[in-house]
Structure 1
């Protein structure tokens, strides 16, 4: 007969009861080796007898619940698995826990970029924001092993339609306006793909579920300023024209002018240190750029701007912030005001880098020369041993900056369209 509660209550010490008769489960039984009876299952795997302890008699294991569990375990055996092995497997980490492990490794320098360099602090902060504002709220509680292509697709769709939209307080007077959108969803998916690739390398999962999941890809931005727009920008820079009810910060005006004359990235000029400026050899010796250390020749027009700029004692940055030893932090708002004052639409400081390259191309310089001036990666192994500017690049930098300086200083730009 099948085991009943009455049978278990009457069991003596060191005795075993087995399920039998109609409605019984083969191999299901109860043993009383100590004070409390325990439900168990006896089964065969790979020709060997196995014992599996289901649980102690009493809450939560009643006879019926234990019998149902025994049926489930026999199903696991029929599927080819060993219940004891399955039980002893470590619990899969959640996506949120995996993200935390990834960030811990990244902050320790264990995650390398495509340039084989550890991620910068600014990149790590962006990654943390994408994890906390998008990945964790949507799939953070799910097991990593439960994430497949469909789950990733839903994540992308949810971010695209704005399910993670929020206004988050970041500091005393700071706010982060999380809007979502297709571009944000694509960047979050790229980050998740990197995390999953790391998980594969660590043996946590077998494959990256983000691979081959389609996502939005924007066209590369090719916006550069025309000669007329450069002329209008030059008037604003020269006249320090007011924008709104207050004047533009002089640091912002100088930084924008240097971006025009050097083709550097905004962070390379905004965060430039006095130790990185070599006026004698007319170059910038950048310690930390997107592609690593970089030697950039600059023209006399840029040199003149640097020489006219006043150095503040005790400040390592050429454009220091008002407090502490950090660099100036106002370019986000001030650059927008400068372009607005110059009546230049849909422009950003990075457009000035494209403009420098466009002027260089117009003067007939090759792609290789322009890449060298912009500090692009891949100029050869020997470049790491060069400590003075290449003469050809220095000559090109001089000609290009002189051409741009002439346009900026033009007093008769064409009328705005």
Structure 2
């Protein structure tokens, strides 16, 4: 017979199976949650008991033998704080572990720090977040409070009329040609092992996780071409050190022609007998590059040594885009190089550089 396993049913636990031509579906732990380890472990034990009873001919078709008593925690006190309501709402959702570990956790941390009452919205004025981030998080809180109304915890949604401020243009400061020269010079002096990695970031404008995940199978040195189709990103549900290979941020695949000097550089660093799955850029010990460690231990020190105002490694991406625009590459081409589906993001972030007019000449002399 097919193995019986607990399944996630809108955040609750459900066992589904067939026996004697009849289908069974029930929650063995009333009030239990799929994402609660103890509840899930109990459900697995019950599933095993059912299977053993079926094999032994002792299956209880009423299912009474397999149901636990309702959890006392089901008698939930009415929440008095937003954090209490948030936890109740999230526990009722059927969302991925990745989403719980990122967006939902970030909002919870934000709420926990402010510790507002259930209907207090004044704490939002003290937040210092990018407008897009704030808009996204308030949207989740609105959904949480709307759910609270359906559960009888709230009479109205205190966040319904909250409007976020408009987006502020990003203050993008790409590296100048002289700063690019100084950065490469600095890595050559201090950390030459990472010079090829930095050059690749500057020339291609790849996202850092894309460059970190680049394998030799993605590079055709004969054609002088590299395909950007994957990234090696942090596993947000792991321990902080694990990485997972996934598609690019926008799901795009782009083919970039390698300039001669970059192709020569890659030919020089390619190990003899390199496997297709081997990473192109690694630490000196041959491990994958951790972008946080790279920034703190190498990038920051090089910029300081070269007396360059600090900007994040991601600025290498802005640098490629801005120099491409300066050199007259069509916006559709720039968007393709950057891995955007259209030119909207280019115009939004770099519009001040595009067809910038000069001030009119007036007779002031």
TM superposition score normalised by structure 1:
0.47
Change (3 A) 1:304 1:188: same
Q: 5 Å matches for 1:165-184?
A: 182-183=128-129
- Asked if 1:250 corresponds to 2:250, the answer is no
1:273 CA drift (Å): 3.0
Distance 1:285 1:357, change over 3 A: closer
Contact (CA 8 Å) 2:205, 2:317: kept in 1 or not?
Answer: yes
Match of 1:372 among 325, 330, 336: 336
SS at match of 2:253: strand
Residue 294 of structure 2 corresponds to residue 331 of structure 1: yes
In the alignment, which residue of structure 1 is the partner of 2:185?
235
Aligned residue for 2:316, secondary structure, equals helix
1:285 has 2:276 as partner: no
Q: How does 1:184-223 map to 2 (within 5 A)?
A: 187=133, 190-194=136-140, 196-197=142-143, 204=150, 209=159, 212-215=162-165, 217-223=167-173
Query: Does 2:89 correspond to 1:98?
Result: yes
Residues 367 and 326 of structure 1, relative CA distance in 2, 3 Å threshold: same
| RMSD over aligned Cα atoms | 3.9
How far is the alpha carbon of 1:220 from its aligned partner?
0.8
1:283/1:296 contact within 8 Å kept: yes
Distance, in Å, in 2 between the alignment partners of 1:184 and 1:335 is 25
Tell whether the 8 Å contact from 1:271 to 1:317 is kept in structure 2 after alignment.
yes
Cα distance, 1:189–1:105 mapped onto 2, change above 3 Å: same
Counterpart position of 2:267 = 307
1:182-226, CA deviations, whole angstroms, 9 ceiling, x for partnerless residues? 127973563242353477599958868265433585431321122
Output the CA distance in 2 between the equivalents of 1:378 and 1:207: 37
CA deviation map 1:148-184 (0-9, x unaligned): xxx33x23234x3xxxxxxxxxxxxxxxxxxxxx127
**1-structure distance, mates of 2:161, 2:313:** 34
Verify the 8 A CA contact 2:175 2:316 in the aligned structure 1: yes
Measured in 1, the distance between the counterparts of 2:105 and 2:131 equals 13
* Offset of residue 356 of structure 1: 1.2
What is the SS of the residue equivalent to 1:355?
Answer: helix
> How big is the shift at 1:258?
0.6
Give secondary structure in 2 for the equivalent of 1:339.
helix
Distance 1:96 1:284, change over 3 A: same
Normalising by structure 2, we get a TM-score of 0.53
The residue number in structure 1 matching 2:107 is 131
* 1:335, distance to aligned residue in structure 2 (A): 1.5
Describe the shift of the 1:320–1:124 C-alpha distance in structure 2 as closer, same or farther (beyond 3 A). Answer: farther
Partners of 1:362 and 1:356 in 2: how far apart? 10
Mark the CA change 1:322 to 1:241 in structure 2 (over 3 Å): closer, same or farther. Answer: closer
CA contact (8 A) 2:210 2:228 kept: no
My pick for the range that moved more, 131-140 or 350-359, is 131-140
Shift of 1:369: 1.0
How far does residue 316 in structure 1 lie from its aligned partner after superposition? 4.0
Q: Which has the larger radius of gyration?
A: 1
Among 302, 324, 343, which residue is 1:360 paired with?
324
Write the mapping of 1:260-275 to structure 2, written as runs, cut at 5 A. 260-275=202-217
